């Protein structure tokens, strides 16, 4: 007998695939967003109830998950070649004439936009997306299938029925300008580093380990190249039109032409019109349309002879350098900024450009009052690419990098191997003091509601705070009496500060702003060292023994805690009630099945990250060690275990355990300790089991 709820799952999946296509590819939804979300939630609930209906191409896969999965490298079936670049009309003419001569028959050219994102190769089998791989080195790339599944314009299941049983389709993953600008605004507000351009933002997003983050970034994709044995037509353009019917997003800017003049018309039109496109482009691609003719023309070692890219000139503007000013960051790093006579460039008015560091100023041989060339070239922060020496005023002085901090007057220091100059007056240089507090309250650190850079500036000006610990001495009445603040916002800040006392130790550690201790390093330190007192007294040897902590980081940690002021800061934060150690349940032992065992972790894993496995081993009484020796108890091996490790393990006769076996070993111990758990813990272990079931499924799928 059929189960109506299971039937409903299949019905919802089909309907959601169609609505997804209507909304994202055609831009013409037929149902409301609320109805779409409702159907999606209904499907999610039903799928959770019937895990046996698991389908890796279900529309719910678009939501992403937070399972950490190191990327697996996959070899491309057909190498991903690049295109020859041209920059002038003469070179385009040469290409056209070369093709004409070689073919010695009529031919058509398909003119396309050159999309400026990150290239991707998608494999479909029986109408289903089975794999998405980045370009990598052209021969092999990263398997980013789970991330790509969150991109709504990429079909998981194809429409129609005339697609080849197996084929690849390649294209570009892009972050639309609008999404890019919004993302950077949010990052700016949170004091996070900005993405330089949509290309970097798209490729950075695609490499995110957490596919839920990828889903939130709203990437788009245009597909422009089909590969396979049984494509429907001989024409590349015609195949793309078929692919559009299967559900792919194919640019409607593509044109098929015959003459060189038509090619130039296309180039000329798009050189200006491209500014109105929603995504970044950096040129035009010309392709001989017939696949038969493409085959006849063949390839050079690097690129096809049947295609070429014409790159647009980066837009440049010439303007006058007014003066160079210097900004001081929270670490004391000095950034020189060129202040310019305002000039129009690629649709915006440019007034400032970063000069990065003293070496750049020197290599430009920049003089006061110089006329300088500014370029954007897709970058958000314009850069100075050259100087018009001919218009230089005789006798003008070279720009000299400052020797003292513009904010506090401290002489600047330049450390070995670093391009930047630093103000080392950490304790009384205002932008450093404020910058450190701003970092402390930022979203990824303590995430304190109600506080932002402007409030920090005001509290500092008013003499209410001088460091992060002072925040916890603030009183509601004291804030409420300030202009611009009412009782409500004062209360809001107080409750934000109170809530920050629940923030985990690893984030507190990150919030301290120790140089080189970013989010990942803070996590590693917290997991290995477990409490602040141990960290404060850790030696360089102890620190560098931690996975991925090198000398530079270790020295910086020791330097930070050698300061009496920093030790006092930590003590005050501790007194205020901030978490200065890992939670008992984060470190609590689960079993002692690995007691006395030294376990090596090698390769990449499907269910947990290597760090998570280290944690699991420790919670089960074992020790994770870095290298294989006679004393190694076993090796927990993921995919692509290094060949030298494998050889050594075999030589010493050490057992190699795969992820599945390891997880079922753990699962058994968790089962036997289940009865001792609180209800909350059982919920957690259910999710662990779910993850494991999924992994088992994946592993089985890979084997058969």
Footprint on this chain of ligand IVH (rule: CB under 6 A): 81-83, 112, 114-115, 119, 135, 172, 224-225, 285, 304, 307, 309
- Pick between residue 172 and residue 670 the one whose CB is nearest to ligand IVH: 172
Of 69, 114, 149, 645, the active-site residue reads: 114
Alpha helices in 512-642 (DSSP H): 519-529, 532-536, 540-544, 551-562, 564-576, 584-587, 610-619
Q: How far is the CB of 275 from ligand IVH (least distance, A)?
A: 17
Q: DSSP per residue over 250-313, as a string? A: --TT-EEE-SHHHHHHHHHHHHHHGGGSSS-EEEEEEEESBHHHHHHH-B-SSSBTTEEEEEPP
- Pick between residue 83 and residue 144 the one whose CB is nearest to ligand IVH: 83
Point out which residues pair with 374 in neighbouring strands.
317, 384
- Pick between residue 115 and residue 440 the one whose CB is nearest to ligand IVH: 115
Q: How far is the CB of 260 from ligand IVH (least distance, A)?
A: 19
Name the residue with tokens 């640019």: 251
Host H or E run for residue 655: strand 655-658
Q: Does residue 631 carry a catalytic annotation?
A: no
CB atoms inside a 10 Å sphere around CB 32: 9
DSSP 530: -
CB distance 421 to 401 below 8 Å: yes
Pairing mode of beta strands 118-125, 166-174: antiparallel
When CB distances to ligand IVH are compared, the closest residue is: 119
Alpha-carbon Rg for the chain, nearest whole angstrom, is 29
> Which conformational region is residue 603 in: left (phi greater than 0), alpha (psi within -120 to 50 degrees), or beta?
left
Residue 254 has φ and ψ, to the nearest 5°, of -65, 135
Q: How far is the CB of 302 from ligand IVH (least distance, A)?
A: 9
Q: How far is the CB of 116 from ligand IVH (least distance, A)?
A: 7
Q: How far is the CB of 157 from ligand IVH (least distance, A)?
A: 25
Q: DSSP per residue over 3-33, as a string? A: -HHHHHHHHHHHHHHHHHIIIIISS--SS-H
Q: How far is the CB of 85 from ligand IVH (least distance, A)?
A: 7
- Pick between residue 172 and residue 370 the one whose CB is nearest to ligand IVH: 172
- Pick between residue 242 and residue 426 the one whose CB is nearest to ligand IVH: 242
Separation CA 446–CA 506 (nearest Å): 10
Q: How far is the CB of 349 from ligand IVH (least distance, A)?
A: 29
Q: How far is the CB of 608 from ligand IVH (least distance, A)?
A: 33
CA contacts within 13 A on the Cβ side of 272: 3
Q: How far is the CB of 179 from ligand IVH (least distance, A)?
A: 19
Torsion of CA 371, 372, 373, 376, to 10 degrees: -130
Q: How far is the CB of 346 from ligand IVH (least distance, A)?
A: 19
- Pick between residue 83 and residue 221 the one whose CB is nearest to ligand IVH: 83
- Pick between residue 83 and residue 384 the one whose CB is nearest to ligand IVH: 83
CB distance 638 to 606 below 8 Å: yes
From the number of C-beta atoms within 10 Å of its C-beta (0-12, 13-18, 19+), residue 111 rates as: buried
Tell how far CA 479 is from the center of its chain. 38
DSSP 531: B
Name the residue with tokens 């380990």: 209
- Pick between residue 112 and residue 426 the one whose CB is nearest to ligand IVH: 112
Q: Measuring CA to CA, which residue among 208, 250, 9, 255 is closest to residue 110?
A: 255
DSSP 62: G
Per-residue HEC secondary structure of 342-367 comes to: EEEECCEEEEEEECCCHHHHHHHCCE
Q: DSSP per residue over 573-585, as a string? A: HHHHT---B--HH
- Pick between residue 172 and residue 426 the one whose CB is nearest to ligand IVH: 172
Question: What is the dihedral sign for C-alpha 512, 517, 523, 528?
Answer: negative
DSSP 59: G
- Pick between residue 141 and residue 513 the one whose CB is nearest to ligand IVH: 141
Q: Which residues are catalytic?
A: 114
């Amino acid at each position: 007998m059929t189960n109506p709820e299971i039937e409903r799952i299949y019905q919802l999946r089909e309907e959601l695939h169609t609505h997804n296509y209507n909304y994202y590819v055609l831009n013409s939804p037929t149902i409301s967003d609320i109805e779409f979300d409702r159907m999606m939630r209904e499907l999610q609930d039903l799928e959770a109830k019937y895990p046996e209906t698991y389908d890796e191409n279900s529309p719910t896969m678009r939501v992403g998950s937070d399972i950490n999965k190191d990327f697996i490298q996959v070899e491309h079936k057909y190498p991903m070649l690049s295109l020859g670049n041209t920059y002038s009309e003469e070179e385009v003419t040469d290409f056209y004439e070369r093709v004409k001569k070689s073919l010695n028959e009529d031919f058509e050219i398909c003119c396309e936009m050159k999309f400026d994102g990150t290239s991707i190769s998608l494999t479909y089998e029986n109408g289903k997306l089975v794999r998405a791989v980045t370009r990598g080195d052209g021969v092999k790339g990263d398997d980013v299938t789970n991330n790509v599944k969150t991109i709504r314009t990429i079909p998981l299941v194809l429409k129609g029925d005339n697609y080849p049983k197996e084929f690849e389709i390649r294209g570009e993953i892009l972050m639309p300008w609008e999404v890019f600008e919004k993302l950077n605004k949010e990052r700016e507000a949170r004091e996070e580093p900005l993405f330089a351009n949509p290309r970097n933002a798209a490729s950075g997003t695609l490499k995110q380990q957490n596919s839920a983050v990828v889903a939130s970034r709203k990437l788009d994709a245009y597909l422009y190249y089909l590969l396979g044995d049984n494509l429907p037509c001989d024409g590349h353009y015609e195949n793309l039109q078929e692919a559009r019917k299967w559900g792919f997003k194919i640019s409607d800017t593509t044109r098929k032409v015959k003459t060189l003049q038509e090619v130039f018309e296309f180039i000329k039109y798009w050189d200006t019109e491209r500014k109105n496109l929603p995504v970044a482009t950096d040129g035009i691609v010309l392709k001989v349309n017939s696949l038969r003719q493409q085959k006849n023309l063949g390839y050079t070692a690097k690129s096809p002879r049947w295609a070429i890219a014409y790159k647009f000139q980066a837009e440049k503007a010439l303007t006058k350098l007014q003066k160079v000013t210097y900004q001081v960051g929270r670490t004391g790093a000095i950034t020189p900024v060129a202040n310019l006579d305002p000039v129009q460039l690629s649709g915006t008015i440019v007034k400032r450009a970063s000069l990065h560091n003293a070496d750049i100023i020197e290599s430009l041989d920049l003089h006061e009052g110089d006329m300088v060339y500014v370029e954007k070239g897709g970058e958000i922060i314009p850069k100075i690419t050259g100087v018009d020496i001919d218009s230089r005023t005789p006798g003008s002085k070279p720009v000299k990098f400052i020797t003292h901090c513009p904010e506090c007057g401290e002489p600047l220091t330049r450390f070995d191997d670093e391009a930047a100059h630093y103000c080392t007056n950490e304790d009384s240089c205002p932008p450093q003091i404020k910058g450190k507090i701003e970092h402390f309250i930022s979203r990824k650190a303590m995430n304190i509601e109600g506080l932002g850079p402007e409030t920090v500036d005001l509290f500092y000006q008013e003499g209410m705070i001088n460091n992060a610990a002072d925040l916890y001495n603030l009183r509601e009445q004291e804030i409420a009496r300030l202009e611009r603040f009412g009782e409500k916002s004062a209360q809001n800040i107080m409750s934000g500060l109170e809530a920050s006392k629940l923030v985990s130790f690893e984030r507190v550690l990150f919030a301290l702003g120790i140089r080189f201790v970013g989010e990942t390093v803070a996590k590693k330190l917290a997991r290995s060292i477990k409490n602040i007192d141990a960290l404060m007294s850790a030696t360089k040897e102890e620190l560098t023994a931690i996975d991925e902590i090198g000398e530079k980081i270790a020295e910086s940690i020791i330097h930070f805690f050698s300061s009496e002021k920093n030790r006092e800061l930590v003590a005050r934060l501790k007194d205020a009630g901030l978490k200065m150690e890992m939670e008992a349940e984060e470190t609590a032992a689960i079993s002692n099945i690995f007691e006395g065992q030294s376990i090596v972790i090698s390769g990449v894993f499907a269910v947990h990250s290597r760090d998570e496995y280290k944690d699991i081993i420790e919670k089960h009484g074992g020790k994770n060690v870095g290298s294989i020796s006679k004393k190694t108890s076993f090796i927990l091996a993921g995919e692509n275990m290094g060949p030298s490790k494998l050889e050594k393990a075999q030589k010493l006769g050490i057992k190699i355990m795969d992820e599945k076996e390891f997880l079922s070993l753990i699962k058994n111990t968790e089962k036997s300790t289940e009865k001792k758990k609180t209800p909350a813990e059982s919920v957690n272990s259910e999710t662990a089991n779910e993850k494991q079931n999924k992994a088992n499924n994946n592993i089985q799928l890979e084997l058969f």
